[in-house]
Amino acid sequence: VADPVSGGTDVTYDGAPHTVYIEGVDLSLMSVSSDSVLTYVNGRYELTMTDAGDYTITVTLNDSRNYAWASGGSDPFVFTWTVSQANNSWTAELEMSGWTYGESPAQPSAEAQFGEVVFTYYNADGDEITPDKLTEAGSYYVIAAVEGNENYTGLTARKDFVVEKADYDTTGIIWSNTTLVYNGNEQSPVADGLPVGLDGIALEYKVESAVNAGEYTLTVTFSTESTNYNVPASITVEFEITKLAVEIEWAEDNFTYDGTDQQDKVTATFEGVDGVHELVVTLISADEFKEANAEGYTFRAELSAEDAVNYQLPAEVTAVFHIATYEVDVSINPGGGVYGGTITPATVTITGA
C-alpha cells in the first residue's frame, strides 16, 4: 500500500492558524485519527494549528496482517508537527513620565507582541500600591508585566518615576504691622494670606525682630510640615519702628534767691516704657541761675544720647523759671532816754538775712 504523504512544517507560535495535512489516504484500506479536529478538503485531511504544542495525525492499516506499507512494515504512520512556544518581546517599550504634585497623574504605556500588559505600582520602599495612592510627592516605580503561558514567554519591565513637590504660591502674602512704635519689646511685622496646600497644610514663616527705633530689612524664612511642597527661598521685608513721642515733666518753678547758682536744681523728666527718665537740662538765657529776675530764665530740655534712639520730645522743649527775691523781717528799736540822762541809741534788727 502506498505510504500516506504529509505536508506542512513546524512553526513557532505567532497567534495565527497554520495548516498541516496528509494525503494519499485510501479509506478502504486505512483509517485516520487525531486528537485534533481533522477536515477533509480536496482529497486530503487537514489540521489547523494555532496554540503551542504537538499535533499528530495517525494513519493505520485496516488489515495489517495482509497489507503492508510500500516503505515496509505495517505499523501505523504517526505524523507529528510542533508549534513551539514563542519568545515574547516588547513592541513598544515601557514609558512612564513623572508629574508635579497636584497635576493629573501620567499613565504608563507598553505593548507586547503577545499577551495583555498589566501595570503594577510600587512606592520607594517596594510596597505595592494602587493607582489612587499616587497622589503624594515622592519616588515610585511601575512594573509592566505579561504573564507567560504555553504559547509565549512572560515579560517584565520596570520604570522609575517621580511625583515632584509643588511650589507654594506666595504672591498672595500681605505684610501688616510694618510700621510700629517703640515699646521696649521685640517687634516684627505680620504676614497674612499664607498659602494652604492641596493637602491642607499651610506654609509657615519666621521673621526677624527688632527692639530699637529705626528702619530694618528683616529676613523671612519659610517652613512647612508638608512633604508635597517645596520650601520657598528666604525673602526680606522692610520694617520700621518709630520713636515714641513723650511729654516733658518740668520741675516746679519755686526758687528763691539764696546767693548761689541754682541751675542744677532745675530738672525735667519724661515717662518712658520702663519708668521715669531724666532729661538733660541746659540754661540757655544766662550763665547763672542766681539773681532774682522778673523776666525769668529759659531752660532747654534734651534727650540723652541713649534715650534719643527711641524717644521723641515735643516741638516745645523750653521752660522759663524764676528766682523770687528773698524776704527778710526788719525790726527797728528807736532807743532814747531822759534828757540829761543816758541815751539808748536806736537799733535795726534784720531777721532771715
pLDDT tens profile 124-177: 999 999 999 999 999 999 999 999 999 999 999 999 999 999 999 999 999 999
pLDDT tens profile 206-217: 999 999 999 999
Beta bridge partners of 270: 277
**Strands, E assignment, 257-325:** 268-272, 275-278, 280-283, 297-302, 311-312, 318-321, 323-324
Element (H, E) at 174: strand 174-176
* End-to-end alpha carbon distance in the chain: 175
Sequence-separated (6 or more) residues with CB below 8 Å from residue 298:
283, 284, 285, 318, 319, 320
Mean pLDDT of the chain: 94
Phi, psi angle pair for 281, to nearest 5°? -110, 130
Nearest to 206 by CA among 216, 193, 191: 191
Pinpoint the alpha helices (H) of 159-216.
none
Q: Give the 3-state secondary structure of residue 333.
A: strand
Instruction: Please check the confidence at residue 311 and state whether its pLDDT lies above 70.
Output: yes
Instruction: Please check the confidence at residue 353 and state whether its pLDDT lies above 70.
Output: no
Cα–Cα distance between 284 and 303 in angstroms, integer?
Answer: 16
Q: Which three cell numbers stand for residue 288?
A: 547763672
Q: Which three cell numbers stand for residue 298?
A: 529759659
pLDDT tens profile 14-51: 999 999 999 999 999 999 999 999 999 999 999 999 99
- What whole-number percentage of the chain has pLDDT above 90? 92
Cell match 515610585: residue? 140
pTM: predicted TM-score of the whole model, two decimal places = 0.72
Average pLDDT over residues 323-328: 84
349 versus 288: which is more confidently predicted? 288
Average pLDDT over residues 343-351: 61
DSSP class per residue in 54-65: EEEEEEEES-TT
Q: Give the 3-state secondary structure of residue 207.
A: strand
Instruction: Please check the confidence at residue 110 and state whether its pLDDT lies above 90.
Output: yes
pLDDT tens profile 51-95: 999 999 999 999 999 999 999 999 999 999 999 999 999 999 999
Q: What is the pLDDT of residue 348?
A: 52
Q: What is the pLDDT of residue 207?
A: 98
Q: What is the pLDDT of residue 334?
A: 72
Q: What is the pLDDT of residue 342?
A: 74
Cα–Cα distance between 184 and 152 in angstroms, integer?
Answer: 83
Instruction: Please check the confidence at residue 236 and state whether its pLDDT lies above 60.
Output: yes
Average pLDDT over residues 179-207: 98
Cα–Cα distance between 207 and 220 in angstroms, integer?
Answer: 4
Q: Give me the count of residues in the chain.
A: 353
Q: What is the pLDDT of residue 331?
A: 64
Is residue 329 very low, low, confident or very high in pLDDT (cuts 50, 70, 90)? low
Sequence-separated (6 or more) residues with CB below 8 Å from residue 300:
281, 282, 284, 317, 318
